[in-house]
């Protein structure tokens, strides 16, 4: 049995859910999103006390694996349209700066040239100070993908700690060369 799949999803008052065949439309204050679900494998029910449950129609190992994943996708969508997801990136290094120009994020990362990153349409990026970048959106996967792409331009190095990291992320530091 799937431990995650058994849990029910509490639907807030601000969120509206509608089940149309194999798709579920979720609307909330931050936007709307549509999720496709295989109705041959899973049965989705909304109870009277605003709880969403997902159950498999038949059980085997493959369906048990997908049960928890589909429940997590539905839960993340409900949270995303209600509150949204936010990731904060911190830049550490001399001369490291971030600025937004038109629809792109311009990064100065110690190279001889600036790095431009085109902002996807479903994600909002804001720059606090010049070294803190906030990434927000209603899709958890897209927010995480954008954050990892920006981090890949200058990963944190272990000797001086220079680079881009997530807020609260701990970088294991190494000791330098001894004489």
Distance CA 115, CA 124 (A): 18
Q: 35-88: per-residue pLDDT in tens?
A: 888 878 888 888 888 888 888 888 888 888 888 888 888 899 999 998 899 999
Cβ-in-10-Å burial (0-12, 13-18, 19+) of 128 comes to exposed
Distance CA 13, CA 53 (A): 17
Picking from 132, 81, 144, the residue whose alpha carbon sits closest to that of residue 105 is 132
Q: Give the per-residue pLDDT at 40.
A: 82
Q: Give the per-residue pLDDT at 20.
A: 84
Q: Give the per-residue pLDDT at 110.
A: 85
Q: Give the per-residue pLDDT at 46.
A: 82
Give me the mean pLDDT over the 122-150 stretch.
92
Give me the mean pLDDT over the 112-125 stretch.
91
| Average pLDDT along the chain | 88
Q: Give the per-residue pLDDT at 150.
A: 92
Q: Give the per-residue pLDDT at 66.
A: 85
Q: Give the per-residue pLDDT at 146.
A: 93
Where are the strands (E) in 29-154, listed by range? 31-36, 42-46, 51-56, 85-92, 97-101, 104-108, 115-118, 123-128, 132-137
DSSP string, 101-114: ETTEEEEE-SSSS-
Q: 22-40: per-residue pLDDT in tens?
A: 888 889 888 888 888 887 8
- Predicted TM-score (pTM) of this structure: 0.83
**Quick one: pLDDT band at residue 2, thresholds 50, 70, 90?**
low
Q: Give the per-residue pLDDT at 135.
A: 94
| pLDDT more than 90, % of the chain | 32
Q: Give the per-residue pLDDT at 50.
A: 84
């Amino acid at each position: 049995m799937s431990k995650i799949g058994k849990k029910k999803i509490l639907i807030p008052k601000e969120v509206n859910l509608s089940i149309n065949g194999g798709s579920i439309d979720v609307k909330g204050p931050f936007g709307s999103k549509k999720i496709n679900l295989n109705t041959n494998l899973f049965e989705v029910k909304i109870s009277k006390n605003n709880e969403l449950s997902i159950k498999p129609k038949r059980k085997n190992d493959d369906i048990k694996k997908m049960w928890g994943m589909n429940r997590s996708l539905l839960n993340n969508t409900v949270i995303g349209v209600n509150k949204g997801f936010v990731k904060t990136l911190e830049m550490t290094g001399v001369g490291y700066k971030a600025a937004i120009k038109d629809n792109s994020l311009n990064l100065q990362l110690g190279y001889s040239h600036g790095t431009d990153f085109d902002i996807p349409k479903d994600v909002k990026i804001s720059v606090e100070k010049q070294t803190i970048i906030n990434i927000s959106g209603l899709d958890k996967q897209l927010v995480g993908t954008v954050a990892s792409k920006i981090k890949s331009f200058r990963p944190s190095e272990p000797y001086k700690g220079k680079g881009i990291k997530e807020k609260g992320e701990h970088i294991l530091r190494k000791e330098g060369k001894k004489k």
